[in-house]
Amino acid sequence: MAEPSSFPITRRWPAKHPDRLQLYSLPTPNGVKVSIMLEETGLAYEPHRIDIGANETWTPEFLSLNPNGKIPAIIDPDGPGGKPLGLFESGAILVYLAEKTGKLMPSDAAGRYETMQWVFFQMAAIGPMFGQVGFFHKFAGREYEDKRPLKRYVDESKRLLGVIETRLEGRDWIMGEYSIVDISMLGWVRNLVGFYGAGDLVDYGSFKRVPAWLERGLQRPAVQRGLEIPKKA
């Protein structure tokens, strides 16, 4: 098995256990997708905390693994064909880990593609829209006098919650069985109503199935662990 030492990022964040999958992340809604997945699957991994507040994602070492300068990213020393694989984009990592372990994604082709369509839905809609609500409601955007951007993103986020609400009719999980789709969304819904404090804005109390789904997810031990990884030094 090859070691990840050939990747420049390991010069700044050395691997103490080079035989394990290396995770470069922070407990953000995107970051926890991968830590939760790793906890759920039981893969051996070594987490590295990347301080986005100190712009560590824009260092040459981090950019050598993810030229887009975002967490999370991984190096799997035992990638396809036994060769090390570096990978970024949380959705792509979820699919990769599901296929690597044979867990949390249907094995049949139709189920696999249906699962991926919902992961892509999260990546294209849930993440960007909820994130904009956070910016305009909690962070610098709240100082803007023009409140039309906030209203636009609040209305769209409310609509997206409605899509999830409808999908959950007769289901405990998005795909019926717990999967990478739920993992991709849990952190974002949790942040929207928790850290962002936007529950009232999006009328979260009017939904029934989404809050129950979130609570089921947050009760999972692997989710509870993953939400705290990588831990503070």
Question: For 162-199, b where at least 16 C-beta lie within 10 A, e where not — what string?
Answer: eebbebbeeeeebbeebbbbbbbbbbbbbbbbeebebe
| pLDDT attached to residue 2 | 57
pTM above 0.85, yes or no: yes
Quick one: tokens of 145? 């006098």
What's the helix, strand, coil split of the chain in %, to 5?
A: 55, 10, 35
Q: Tens of pLDDT along 135-184?
A: 999 999 999 999 999 999 999 999 999 999 999 999 999 999 999 999 99
- DSSP-assigned letter for residue 86: E
Quick one: tokens of 198? 């936007």
Mean pLDDT over each residue of the chain, to the nearest integer: 97
- CB 154, CB 133: distance < 8 Å: yes
Q: Which domains does the chain have, with CATH numbers?
A: 4-104 (3.40.30.10), 109-220 (1.20.1050.10)
Residue 3 in this model has a pLDDT that exceeds 90 = no
Residue 1 in this model has a pLDDT that exceeds 60 = no
- Calculate what percentage of the chain has a pLDDT beyond 90: 97
Q: Tens of pLDDT along 87-131?
A: 999 999 999 999 999 999 999 999 999 999 999 999 999 999 999
- Calculate what percentage of the chain has a pLDDT beyond 70: 99
Calculate mean pLDDT across residues 65-84.
97
Residue 233 in this model has a pLDDT that exceeds 90 = no
| pLDDT attached to residue 211 | 98
Contacts of 120 (CB under 8 A, 6+ apart): 91
| pLDDT grade for 5, boundaries at 50, 70 and 90 | confident
Among the residues of the chain, which ranges form H helices?
Answer: 9-12, 31-41, 60-65, 90-101, 109-121, 127-137, 148-167, 180-193, 209-218, 221-226
Residue 8 in this model has a pLDDT that exceeds 60 = yes
Calculate mean pLDDT across residues 191-206.
98
CA angle 187, 190, 193 (to 5 degrees): 145
